[in-house]
Chain A
């Protein structure tokens, strides 16, 4: 075998001129473990590495690209090369990156410039990743080079934040000390990004910028820690002191912006809210560093400038989210209460209960802008809560009720009567509601039955049902159209209108094509919400029926479209079947016909209920426990009287004691059996339903278990097979009789038990 491989030198030679498929093949061949061979190291692999280095140093961009990929493959699959030549390769890649960075504008102007940067950075990141945590390698090769690499990356991060920031983030987290000298430079780059281009970055990059900004606060603590440890050991120093100051400085930035909103809404009408706003953390005057953002320029005469308020708040929330959600090497202290009250304040900024300032009420345009920014401001609070709940889960349990009542403030109501939901506004806030449902779902998994305030939930159900209908874009058009037509008829300009309406023909003939459909993500989230709601509460019939209708029609539609019913819909159908609420009939038949060929365990069980076999024994035990001794004596007597065959047997008391459980079951007492009859069926039915919930099939395990129990209890060597036969027979009998009238059930059980006794007695 060992002689049949292609020599690495051959591959290396071909590497230079290979293209396309050949290059792919060479890379796949190099992955082979054959090349991890110490004998090859000096001759063959050395040659390979020199070839790669040559490629990396070549002035041809394509060769450079090939070199990058080959070095990554070689380092990843060949530990020998990684440990001997890894540093060399990394240095080569880095030097090319630095070179290209210096001529950034000319490189990026070429057609493949961006791709080249991408390759260089990613291959460098991979090699760094491979080298990390390997003590000698990182000490000898990696760390010294990082001092050179980091400034280059920081320079590049101004131009290509999307590519560079993930690498820098990793470096910041892992090699915090090495990063230390460059922190200030990086901070200026990041603040520049935040101040000037933040809105133009993609949402992923925005998150990266914020994450990096937060990670800058990992740095100082090591220094301060050591200092403190030496000078004042008695002083308790938390590892996260710097992190916390960063967090608090962001948190304190909110208050001035919130106070700005006081220019729009009359906060003084609501004392509670006013107090809450007052209690928000103030900006620390001494700490100027956090205050790098320019002041907001708002002008009521130019209403669109007001949009800066939600934008600024959104930026703060982004940064705060980074601070509270990022993994850190040390435990951090998060002011959950402060964040909670901040969110509460943000959600309190609405014009539902607070009036606008008097002087603003006349300007229509201004009012329009205010109406549109208020939900956005509230939404920032919801985002904060969403992160808080997803990261800290049950730690915020005490806030949950408050969160729910605040969420109610977000649901837009009609002005005239404050009870009805304004669905036209709801329609425009779909994304925001998506976040709300995610938040609610996360909370409800913790709360469940505990929750008493159902009014929010029923409102949210209405919203969910409204938003999960397909939205037509042209409804309003038709409404307006009618008015137009009338006017046109009046003015007799029909000729003119005809010529313009030609373009509209599609709208009239195929209105179904102008529809916004819901994404699967949305439906999944909504379904989860409905499932928890149905599991926890009995709804009034209107929303219940609407949910039923929604689930049935949607799952049928999706079944036709996708060929299967998505998991979340199956879950919803399940809980609808298990919790029929006020319905007289569950939708079991409909659900089953929808899920016909899916072999769903639960529905299978509901259609063909199986009996857990061990039940009968467990059922009778409580009876025995109370009157054990009396019953025992009575049994003996009765057995003697009734059973002739028993009289000849030696009246062995021990045997009786051993058999007592079973015997108690067996004795056909007329007074007892009649009420038991009812009980049995009742419990039997109940149990099956419960079992279904747990998806617990009545399995063979149980049978075996029962057998074991009986043998132990009897204390005597009972023939195991016999018992198995008995239990099976019982099960069969019960199953058969289940479909028919219930009165047949118990006699069957009783009979079998009697038989069992007879056998034992014999």
Chain B
């Protein structure tokens, strides 16, 4: 049955259609129907009018193998920030450029810092929104195998803290403290003592100063409330009614309910004997100052105190920063 039908179809292909008078000629089987009407035709792949200033094109250049290209691209973006700050371009720009925290070239990293500063000075909200990616890459840099990248990681952190310190300490207090202490070589988690950073510590006093200063800002942001800090822009008049009212108004920062983790799947920490306490701390929500203070004083304070003492004794630039940190610690915890 099937065979015969197939055969019939085959035959039909080879039959010659007879032309008849008064009837139109049949169309060829491969004729294209051109009877449709369209007002516009968009041809995707052929943008004739290419915008020479289209910055989206340049995003890929951030991954270019040439150091100079990457650096140049960063500078271009930095220059055009004022015009694109409110555009949709910011998210892809940040997600593409943040990985450069771990870039091997010092120039590129510096360029990124400048870019972050530029963005922050225009609209800190954008940095707040991408805070978690920042923290991710910064903590990646903090444990990076290349010493220079590791050393620069705190620079990024300190620049980030300038614009969204509150967000950062709320979101990843323990993680960052672990990281900074690790970079300083005081770490408890990875026992970083044999790593490069410690070996070259004495040679790179400059870096240690940066680390200490970052630790200072981190602790200041995390453990001191705004009034005690009494700093620059937040010293505005805050009365009780504002405190009472503000939770019910529309928040002035992005993703207000993110910390509830309603849609994220949490990792279960297995009770491994070694760093169990730290694992428990990592699952701690550090949204309020008191929790942060307690966590810091229980977990980090003794070692920080001990280490600052030794650095102060060594003196120099580091000694100054360390004594500043010591003062801050005694003002908060004593």
Q: Contact residues of A with B, CB < 8 Å?
A: 540-542, 544-546, 548-549, 552-553, 580-588, 590, 606, 681-682, 685-686, 689
Contact = CB atoms under 8 A, between A and B. Distances in A.
Contacts of B287: 541, 544-545, 582-584
Contact of A685 (B244, B262, B290, B294): B244
B248 interface: yes
B291 interface: yes
A689 B244 contact: yes
A584 B251 contact: yes
Contacts of B246: 584
Interface string B224-266: 0000000000000001010011111001000011011110000
B260 A549 contact: yes
Contacts of A542: 284-286, 291
A540 B173 CA distance: 15
Given A544-B287, A689-B244, 6 more contacts: A540-B291, A541-B285, A581-B288, A582-B288, A586-B247, A685-B244
Contacts of A541: 285-288, 291
Given A541-B291, A549-B260, A549-B262, A686 B285 contact: no
Contacts of B288: 540-541, 581-582
A588 B260 CA distance: 14
A590 B244 contact: no
Contact of B261 (A549, A681, A689): A549
Contacts of A553: 262
Interface residues of B, number: 22
Contacts of B244: 685-686, 689
A685 B261 contact: no
Most chain-A CB neighbours within 10 Å: which of B256, B260, B284? Answer: B260
A396 B244 CA distance: 36
Contacts of B248: 586, 588, 606
A606 B248 CA distance: 8
B251 A585 contact: yes
18 contacts: A540-B294, A541-B285, A544-B285, A545-B259, A545-B287, A549-B262, A552-B260, A553-B262, A581-B288, A582-B290, A583-B247, A584-B247, A584-B287, A586-B247, A586-B248, A587-B260, A588-B248, A682-B239
Contacts of A588: 247-248
Interface in B122-173: none
Contacts of B251: 584-585
B260 A545 contact: yes
B76 to A, nearest CB: 37
Contacts of A583: 247, 287
Contacts of B285: 541-542, 544-546
A580 B239 contact: no
B285 to A, nearest CB: 4
B261 A682 contact: no
Contacts of B257: 585, 587, 590
Most chain-B CB neighbours within 10 Å: which of A553, A585, A586? Answer: A585
Given A541-B286, A584-B247, A685 B260 contact: no
Contacts of B259: 545
A686 B247 CA distance: 13
Contacts of A685: 241, 244-245
Contacts of A546: 285
Most chain-B CB neighbours within 10 Å: which of A549, A584, A586, A682? Answer: A584
B133 to A, nearest CB: 21
A585 B245 CA distance: 10
B247 A548 contact: no
A1 to B, nearest CB: 65
B228 to A, nearest CB: 16
Interface in B42-61: none
Contacts of A587: 257, 260
A637 to B, nearest CB: 35
A552 B262 contact: yes
Nearest to B259: A545
Top 8 A-B pairs, shortest CB-CB distance: A541-B287, A582-B288, A586-B247, A682-B241, A580-B247, A585-B256, A542-B285, A541-B288
Nearest to A556: B262
Contacts of A548: 260
Contacts of B241: 681-682, 685-686
A541 B241 CA distance: 22
A549 B259 CA distance: 10
A437 to B, nearest CB: 23
Nearest to B245: A685
Contacts of A581: 288
B269 to A, nearest CB: 13
A698 B239 CA distance: 26
A738 to B, nearest CB: 12
A584 B291 contact: no
Nearest to B241: A682
Contacts of B291: 540-542
Nearest to A587: B257
A587 B294 CA distance: 26
A438 to B, nearest CB: 29
A588 B259 CA distance: 15
A545 B258 CA distance: 11
A548 B259 CA distance: 11
A590 B260 CA distance: 11
B256 to A, nearest CB: 4
